[in-house]
Amino acid sequence: MTDPPAQSRKILPHGQLLDRITEAKAAGRTIVQCHGCFDLVHPGHIRHLQYASQLGDILLVSITGDTAVNKGDGRPLIPQELRAENLAALDCVDWVYIDARPTAVALLTEVKPDAYIKGREYEHNRDPRFAAERDVVESNGGRVVFSSGDIVFSSTALIAGMTDEIGVDDPASLRINELTARDDLRCSRLDEILDACIGRHIVVIGELIRDTYIHCDRPEIASEAAMMTLRPIQRVYYDGGAAIIAKHITAMGARATIVTAAADDPGHVTMIERLRSMDIDVLAIPMGTPLLEKQRYLVGRDKVIKIDLTQPITLDGQARDQLTKQARDVAHSADAAIICDYGGGLLTPSLVETLCQSLRPAVPVLTGDVSGHRANLTAMREMDFVCPNETELREGMRDFGESLSSIVWRLLAQQNIKSAIVTLGDEGLIAFEQTQGSRQAEAWTSRLRSDHVPAMARHVVDELGCGDSLLAVATLATAAGASLSQAAYLGSLAAASQVERRGNAVIGRSDVGQLMRRFASAHLVAAAVR
């Protein structure tokens, strides 16, 4: 039988605490006591406890039990057992005791500490509860000491600030709180999915793209005509297209293989060498078109113009057959395949259909996405899900008037696609999936299930690459056994992490997990203040 963790051994029941005190005093050791709620252990608490530990041999921290906390509805935010564990984990704390009584007076009478430490804000406090505690300590020969108070924090103020930040009454925040409260979206369940992503093998089929950010000095008006003049001062290069999807997959702990076409030009050669140095396999059939580049000119934080330096990719029949064969061969050993059509010409409608037909029997999970006006959404067939934005969906279906749900249903039904994750910009995304037996239903409202996930970013810095990170993480999660809702939620977290950064940042497991926990904590705060 294993021993309990050291921090658990610090948390003492009442009888054991009194025995320890008797033994310590008989050995001539001095006891220092701190008491409080300690709902959120913040830097002020740490300094306070470190200071207290220096004033004696043993530091006892007693906390007010849940039923006795009187700080408003929903408090304490953290249950007493977890509050005790947090304190016991600190090296400066020797013993922790949970006191069910409303004040520390009775416990102070039993402990008779040599020193009772309170924050500097209590020095001139006239609260009768603290006055009674002080009388007990001093009447038993102890002293009350006030810590430095160089930096004062308040758990109540911090929680209120968190509440203001998340906007408890905001519709999007309310919806996110509903999602985080669901059993299937608990952190522990999502962590299991993220753990199951590790070691998966995902094949990515699509163009390699270089995204270039050209930062410019402030614009001027040209002398020869009324047009803007830009003076570039810095260029920053990012891997885009299939390359960034593969990099996301690798950062999530999985393995990625890219199937693409490449020319013997410096752009392709350098990018492929960089990807292979990151343990990303690249299977590239030869072609004559140089690396696709999309340039974005920025003034300050604002993008003012985009230029696509692209030549349409053209593959002959033999090259298309070779690409299809490479994709099918590697997919037999993969957990999922992604077809991403960036409209560069590599994936023609007929090639997309051929890839879907070849890959569907070979791989457990098949997903796809499109980007740009020249992409081919309706060529994608028999997929587990597609991931267009609303504009791409409506353009692909040539329908700008019907409701989003009805258009999605027609796409899924016509292309035999199981589900769709449709992104809506500032409004987040909606995950649609066909219900069982839906093909026999008369109306799409009874054939389609939807789940809305609001946009989860606090600050929008750059929208580039959000769809790629969403697609990569949602596909990987699906391959790991996630439901559509779970995959969409995790993908939305990845997109939110992406949008808060400049350029094509690589999103990994820690980014998704950190954001997931931030929203879970916000849900606890929101529940506490209601």
pLDDT on residue 71: 54
pLDDT on residue 3: 46
Q: Where are the alpha helices (DSSP H) in 204-265?
A: 242-251
Cross-strand bridge partners of residue 285? 261
Distance CA 116, CA 138 (A): 9
Short-list 222, 77, 225, CA closest to 155: 77
- Please give the CATH number for the structural domain made up of 171-529: 3.40.1190.20
pLDDT on residue 4: 46
Contact present, 368 and 347 (Cβ < 8 Å): no
Domain range list for the chain: 6-153, 171-529
Q: How many CB atoms lie within 10 A of CB 158?
A: 16
Distance CA 124, CA 512 (A): 46
pLDDT on residue 522: 63
Strand order of the β-sheet with 429-434 is: 281-286, 255-262, 201-206, 336-341, 365-370, 385-386, 419-423, 429-434, 448-453
DSSP designation for 261: E
CATH 3.40.50.620 for domain 6-153, yes or no, is yes
pLDDT on residue 78: 73
pLDDT on residue 524: 54
Q: State how beta strands 336-341 and 201-206 pair.
A: parallel
Residue pLDDT tens, the chain, 530 long: 344 445 568 999 999 999 999 999 999 999 999 998 887 777 778 888 988 999 999 999 999 887 777 654 445 667 788 888 889 989 899 999 999 888 899 999 999 999 999 887 777 777 788 899 999 999 999 999 987 544 445 555 555 555 444 445 567 878 888 898 899 999 899 999 999 999 999 999 999 999 999 999 888 888 888 888 999 999 999 999 999 999 999 999 999 999 999 999 999 999 999 999 999 999 999 999 999 999 999 998 889 999 998 888 889 999 999 999 999 999 999 999 999 999 888 999 999 999 999 999 999 999 999 987 777 899 999 999 999 999 999 999 998 888 899 999 999 999 999 999 999 988 999 999 987 654 444 444 557 889 999 998 877 888 999 999 999 999 999 999 999 999 999 999 999 999 988 899 999 998 898 888 888 876 554 454 44
Short-list 32, 14, 12, CA closest to 101: 14
Whether 171-529 and 6-153 are alike in CATH topology: the answer is: no
The DSSP element (H or E) to which 486 belongs, if any, is helix 484-499
Q: What would the two tokens of residue 364 be?
A: 């457990």
Short-list 154, 155, 115, CA closest to 137: 115
Q: State how beta strands 31-36 and 201-206 pair.
A: unpaired
Short-list 304, 298, 282, CA closest to 236: 298
The string of DSSP codes covering 279-335 is T-EEEEEE-SSPPEEEEEEEETTEEEEEEEE-------HHHHHHHHHHHHHHHTT-S
